[in-house]
Structure 1
Amino acid sequence: MRPLYSVSDYGRVVNTHNPETYRDEWRRDYARLIHSASFRRLQGKTQVFPGHEGDFFRNRLTHSLEVAQIAKSIAIKLNATHELFAEHKLAPDIVEFAGLAHDLGHPPFGHNGEEALDECMREYSGGFEGNAQTLRILSRLEKKVTLNTPTDLSPFIDGVDQRCGLNLTFRSLASILKYDSVIPVRSADREEDKQNKVVKGYYESDSALVQKVKSSVIGEEYTDEFKSVECSIMDIADDIAYSTYDLEDVFKSGFLRPLDLFALDESIYEAVVATINKRLKRQYPDYDREISVKDAKEILHDVFSELFTFGTEQLSILRNRKTSNEYKKMYFSVEAEQRSRHYAEDGYSRTTFTSNLVQVFLQGVEVKPHEKFSQLHKVRLDVKTFIVVEVLKNITFEAVIRAPALQVVEFRGKDMIKKIFGAINEKGGDRLLPKDFREVYRNGDELNRCRTICDFIAGMTDRYAIEFYSRLFGANGMTMHKPL
């Protein structure tokens, strides 16, 4: 079996000299990411609640920092405890990089923003997808290196695209390749392609790069299913962060309290269970049972068991024959509600809750070895922990993110994005683009022009998208001095 890491992992699209012998190539990748514009812009993109709703709530940047910390903790833990990594250690720097970079491609306005750009691009290519856009940002859009660096930093020479993004190592690029498939070209004329469903994968234009990444990481031509060990660690760290910290934001907002999770509409539990069972079948094919709504509610009970604990006082009331059943029901209902309110409103309780959950989930990490390539060892959660994480994650998605209050905001955002795209895509609309995007727009075919518009919009923060829309269509005062 090839060693976990080798010299070939240091390969880049453009071979540039590293004068810093004290710092390895992956730490350079980390630094390039931290100093990039796309990373900074994550602070202006919504995680669950829009930033203007309060300073407490997480955004895509703080979420990515938390994912990176959890992912690095998993790598450190495995290096210290797992026999597979006793001699050849995981590289925590790559794992941390993956956590920081994994959301770079998300557009403004969350899932609805992704759907809007996907619908705009289907007519011209396979559409738009956040993970595919992350690879495109890192390997092409960020302004660090071109093929002719350092003599000529022109993005196009004789019509040929020279951009190489941050010029990262192939191993770092592999760490964000979550889906190993080309997004197929879809047609607006085919009924099956009209569905509002974003297809996961990478863009066809990045196929050659992906093959280079695979060959570099594996050390030979490789065509089978590919997901690097660092990427699998990042993936579960992302799920852990979603399932705990997003829930903390929900409690802080007052949108829901812990006790509310037990009294949601039955259709929400059914949707949660249906999603989990699909993922179980795909990710744990040997697991021979499906979970039910009853199972999901029992998991919620286990997670929030402190709401229902009994002490001496509770037992004495329960056993008192002179107290009516109606009074007992009232007493325990009120007490559970008070505990639930305390959970949601008290910062110490919320912090303890999320911290304990993360620790429990980290204990559920396991490794499924790859028979031939150590680079493809799969780090995942054991099935029991996976189900708990999925219940919490999908409850948040179905009960909060899909709730009308948030959907109204995101729907408006979707409408804004489609109108901005339409305006720029009109004849002469490229004059609305900033100079650097306009230069790229004018050096390619129709697909390149539309993809450039898409790149511009996907990179917007929520606030900038609203402002740009207002400058085009709204009642805000017009200005020619504020830069695009």
Structure 2
Amino acid sequence: MSNYQRLILSDRQQPTPNTETALSAIEVDRNRIVQCSPVRRLQQKTQVFPLDVKASVRSRLTHSLEVKEIGRQLALMVLAELEPDVEQQAFVSLVEMACLLHDVGNPPFGHFGEVVMIDWLRTRLPSLFQQAVGKKSRQWPMLIADLQQFEGNAQSLRLLHSLQGLNLTLSQLAALQKYVRGAYQRQSSAPWQQKPGHYFSERLLIQQMRALFPTTVRGRYPLTFLMEAADDMAYGVADLEDAVDRGVLSLAELEQALLSDGNDYLKDCWQQAKAGDPDFFSRFRQHINDDLQVLVSEQYLAHHSAILDGSHNTPLLAVEQAPAQALQWLKDFARRQVFNRREVEALELSGFAALKGVLEAFAPLLALPEQEFISLDSRQDAEGLVLRRLYHRLPPRHLAAYQRDSRNADLFEDASEREWYFRVRLLLDFVSGMTDTYILEEYRLLCGFQG
């Protein structure tokens, strides 16, 4: 049995009645993923420019489609050098679908939105918990630490598994896991600990995944390395292309900086692509990506044994080779010269107001004791009528997940803390799942609603 036969499996958390081969199960996954609503919502979530109406500028969906195609090419290049008994179609599909899904857990306004949500959670949750529950168990410090960290990778797992109920293969879910730390665990200097990769609410799923793939206790599932590299390759040039297309950055500014500070490889790519000619960025991007694909596949194969046993601890593009250094220069330049531009920051300020405004409007639902929250439909006083209308704005799918987990989820020591934990998750699931335009509409409605 090859290593990949142990990694590419049909196992799901909820077994299906039909006998599935690994390939047939992963093909079923593919169908479920492509048709799921979180993927569709990516078309109205930001990549770089929030709320942009210009069709040529990338959304999260178009970015994810580009990542998916790069991931496919990387998978095919690696497969050409692997043992022949690897199930090639399943291998490629796992990488492609991990690429397509890698951003589904991102909140409105992307990484900026994550920062806003984390700030609100750290500021407001302690007092809201005191009002709603008060008494703390020994477990509570771990649970509040979990709730006060919002991370798109962890939310992707929760969204696909606990909310959408896609029941994807554990192989597919493992391929999404860029980080091995739970949000309830302290950060350490060990590999893949920089951010949380899952929440306490998905802890049982992670335990089952790690039992099936023991190397993921301390390291990544191997195909995750290819997904991560594909993402880096996709946005490295694309963010600058969008900035030029949007008029936030001029081609002359980029050219001057690149020819002044870029490495010789990057300068050569720029000059060969002939800036100013039609389809310049397409040629420039393709030149760099062709070389990066070779580099990534070489790095994957060079560290193959360590990747398979979970001990490889650096991204495939974290190497001192000219194409990788050129990509890093482009990403650093975008951070310095695009994301700090007045126009981008102005759009993010709109997102800041909307995110904090919506979270604050729904905060009174978190201040209620459990019995008051679950009996809102019977209240007729003025405050109760307002709270009831807020409650009715929560999606039925998310409410069903709350009702299921707040009563029955394992690993919680105190029932009242469990209920409140999933009430907070209910609000975070609702808000993080909104598109950029939806949260602005919700904010405007609530501002009018509040007088």
The bucket for the TM-score relative to the shorter chain is 0.7 to 0.9
Partner of 1:301: 267
CA shift for structure 1 position 475: 9.3
Deviations 1:111-164 (A, max 9, x none): 22111222233434242100110111111111xxxxxxxxxxxxxxxxxxxxxx
Match of 1:255 in 2: 248
Q: Please state which structure has a larger fraction of its residues in helix.
A: 2
Report if the CA contact (8 A) 1:8-1:217 is conserved.
no
Residue equivalent to 2:161: 139
**SS at structure 1 position matched to 2:181:** coil
Are the counterparts in 1 of residues 102 and 176 from structure 2 also a CA contact under 8 Å? yes
Q: Give the conservation status (yes or no) of the 8 Å contact 2:113–2:355.
A: yes
Report deviation, 1:30: 1.1
Aligned-residue Cα RMSD (Å) equals 3.1
Contact 1:121 1:450 survives alignment (8 Å): no
Give 2:331's aligned residue: 393
Q: 1:14-413, aligned counterparts within 5 Å?
A: 14-18=14-18, 24-80=24-80, 82=81, 84-88=82-86, 91-122=91-122, 123=125, 124=144, 125-142=147-164, 165-184=165-184, 199-218=195-214, 222=215, 224-261=217-254, 296=262, 300-306=266-272, 340=275, 342=276, 346=278, 348-365=279-296, 366-367=299-300, 368-371=302-305, 374=308, 376=310, 380-381=316-317, 382-384=319-321, 385-413=323-351
Asked whether the 8 Å contact 1:175–1:230 carries over to 2, the reply is yes
Task: Give SS of 2:32's match.
Answer: helix
Quick check: 1:51–1:59 contact (8 Å CA) kept in 2?
no
What is the deviation of 1:435?
Answer: 3.5
**Aligned CA distance change for structure 1 residues 361 and 447 (closer, same or farther; 3 Å):** same
Inter-CA distance 212–442: structure 2 relative to 1 (3 Å threshold): closer
Query: The residue matched to 2:316 in structure 1 has which SS?
Result: strand
- From 465, 470, 477, the equivalent of 2:444 is 470
SS of the residue corresponding to residue 197 of structure 2 reads coil
Q: CA offsets, 1:392-424, max 9 Å, x none?
A: 122122211232211121122022111111211
TM-fit CA distance, 1:298: 5.3
Structure 1 residues 371 and 306, CA, compared in 2 at 3 Å: closer, same or farther? closer
Is the Cα contact below 8 Å between 1:64 and 1:101 reproduced in 2?
Answer: yes
Cα separation, partners in 2 of 1:110 and 1:436, compared to 1, 3 Å: same
Alpha-carbon offset, residue 253 of structure 1? 1.8
Gapped regions of structure 2 (runs ≥ 5):
126-143, 187-193, 366-386, 407-418
2:109, 2:436 within 8 Å by CA — same for their partners in 1? yes
Task: Structure 1: give runs of 5+ residues left out of the alignment.
Answer: 143-164, 187-197, 270-292, 308-338, 479-484
**Secondary structure, aligned partner of 1:201:** strand
3-state SS of 2:57 partner:
coil
Which structure: larger Rg?
1
1:357/1:417 CA distance change after superposition, 3 Å: same
Q: How far apart, CA to CA, are the structure 1 residues paired with 2:401 and 2:337?
A: 42
SS in 2 for 1:380: coil
Query: How many residues get paired?
Result: 377
Q: Report which stretch shifted further, 114-123 or 102-111.
A: 114-123
Q: Give, in angstroms, the shift of residue 371 of structure 1.
A: 3.9
* 1:5–1:375 Cα contact (<8 Å) kept: no
* Distance 1:226-1:26 versus aligned 2 partners, 3 A rule: same
Q: Deviations over 1:88-117 (max 9, x none)?
A: 355101010111110000111122211122
Distance in 2, Cα, partners of 1:439 & 1:417: 24
- Partner amino acid for 1:137? L
Query: Which of 393, 401, 405 is equivalent to 1:432?
Result: 393
2: CA distance, partners of 1:88 / 1:432: 48
Counterpart contact for 1:10–1:25, Cα < 8 Å: yes
Distance 2:437 2:307 in 1: 45
Give the CA deviation at 1:51: 4.5
Alignment partners' CA distance in 2, 1:128 and 1:138: 16
Q: Distance in 1 between matches of 2:22 and 2:151?
A: 37
Q: Distance in 1 between matches of 2:349 and 2:265?
A: 32
On the 8 A contact 2:4/2:86 being kept in 1, the answer is: yes
Residue 79 of structure 1 contacts residue 89 of structure 1 at CA under 8 Å; is this kept in 2?
A: no
Deviation per CA, 1:304-351, whole angstroms, max 9, x where unpaired? 2359xxxxxxxxxxxxxxxxxxxxxxxxxxxxxxx75x25xx3x2222
For residues 86 and 225 of structure 1, the distance between their equivalents in structure 2, rounded to whole angstroms, comes to 28
Q: CA deviation at 1:205?
A: 2.5
Q: CA deviation at 1:250?
A: 1.9
C-alpha separation in 2, matches of 1:166 and 1:85: 31
Decide whether the 8 Å contact of 2:12 with 2:168 is kept in 1: yes
TM-score by length of 2: 0.75
- 1:76–1:92 CA contact under 8 A, matched in 2: yes
Alpha carbons of 1:300 and 1:258: their partners in 2 closer, same or farther (altered >3 Å)? Answer: farther
Measured in 1, the distance between the counterparts of 2:206 and 2:293 equals 31
Q: Give the direction of change, closer, same or farther, for the CA distance of 1:107–1:401 in structure 2 (3 Å limit).
A: same
Q: Which residue of 1 aligns with 2:374?
A: none
TM-score computed with the length of structure 1 as normaliser? 0.70
Identity %, equivalent residues:
31
Quickly say closer, same or farther: Cα 1:86–1:441, change in 2 above 3 A: closer
Amino acid aligned to 1:431: H
Three-state SS of the structure 1 residue aligned to 2:9 is helix
Q: Is the 8 A contact 2:263 2:326 kept in 1?
A: no
TM-fit CA distance, 1:391: 1.3
